[in-house]
Structures are given as structure tokens and as C-alpha cells.
Amino acid sequence: MDTVTRRMSSDAIAMLEGNHEKFRNLLTEYHDAAGEAKIEVAEKLFEEFELHAKVAKEVLFPVLRVRSRFEGRRLIRRALRDQDHLMELIVSLQELATKNGKFTAGMKQIEEALARYIELEEEDMLPLAERLLDQDTETVGERMLDLRLLLAGAGSPLG
């Protein structure tokens, strides 16, 4: 990642919003694809979500948890449950990748769960993060980006 891209992506809130946009673009690409290309796009979506979830879980959520009270902690617990649910759906679907009829039905479940997850983050988690991070959004964003680059460079989004 070049310096300009790194600078643009180092704000924690902007990074999360960028992830959401990437998810939406990949879903559009998935719907436009056919055959094996559909599965390849889905796999890219899964990788992107795995990176997003890991970075949020290891960097953002701990910072928010320390700085928040009951409501913020409740939102974090819900986001973690939603992430776990999505990851279970993804793993289950990856096991069915060769059975296209079941893959399509499973992908629909993932789309719905991902839409709910994005909605939760955009309506509740991002405003909370903006309030709690305040001046630290760049610092936390840098840590998130460093972990994302490390995980992506390792070849496995799950580390």
C-alpha cells in the first residue's frame, strides 16, 4: 500500500466505512458474475470480511470497550456475536462451494447477515466510535491498518 493510500485509510472511522463500501461493491460484483467467477468473488468477500472482523476484534473493540459504559459494551458484544455468526455462515458455505445450488442459497443468508451487520455498525457502532475515539481516530486507525496489512501480507486473513 503506498503512502497516499495509507494516509487516506488511517482514520479508523473512514476505514470501517471503506470496508462497508468494499463489501457492497463485492456483492454487486457477485451478482453480476456467473459460474466459477461467482465463487471467486464470494471468496474475496469472505477474505475481506475476515480481515475486517479480526482488525475490529483485536484493535478497535478493545479501545471502545475501555472507553465506554454499558451501552457501548452492549454494542460491542452484539457486533462480536454478529461477526461470529457471519464467520460460521461463511465456513459452512465454503464447505458447500462445489454444490452451486446450495452455495447460492447459503450466499443469500450471508448477504442478509452482512447487511444487518453493516447497518448495526453504521447506525450504532460508528457514532459510538466517533464519540469515544475523538482525537484518537487516527492513532487507532493506524493500529488497525498495521494489523490489516500484517494479516493480508501473511496470506491468511485469519492469521
Per-residue pLDDT tens over the stretch 76-135: 999 999 999 999 999 988 887 656 567 888 899 999 999 999 999 999 999 999 999 988
pTM of the model: 0.84
Q: Name residue, grid cell 465463487.
A: 39
Task: Sketch out the chain's domains with CATH numbers.
Answer: 3-153 (1.20.120.520)
| Mean pLDDT value of segment 131-149 | 91
Q: Are residues 85 and 92 in contact, defined by beta-carbon separation less than 8 angstroms?
A: no
Sequence-separated (6 or more) residues with CB below 8 Å from residue 151: 51, 54, 55, 157, 158, 159
Q: How many other C-beta atoms can be found within 10 angstroms of the C-beta atom of residue 80?
A: 14
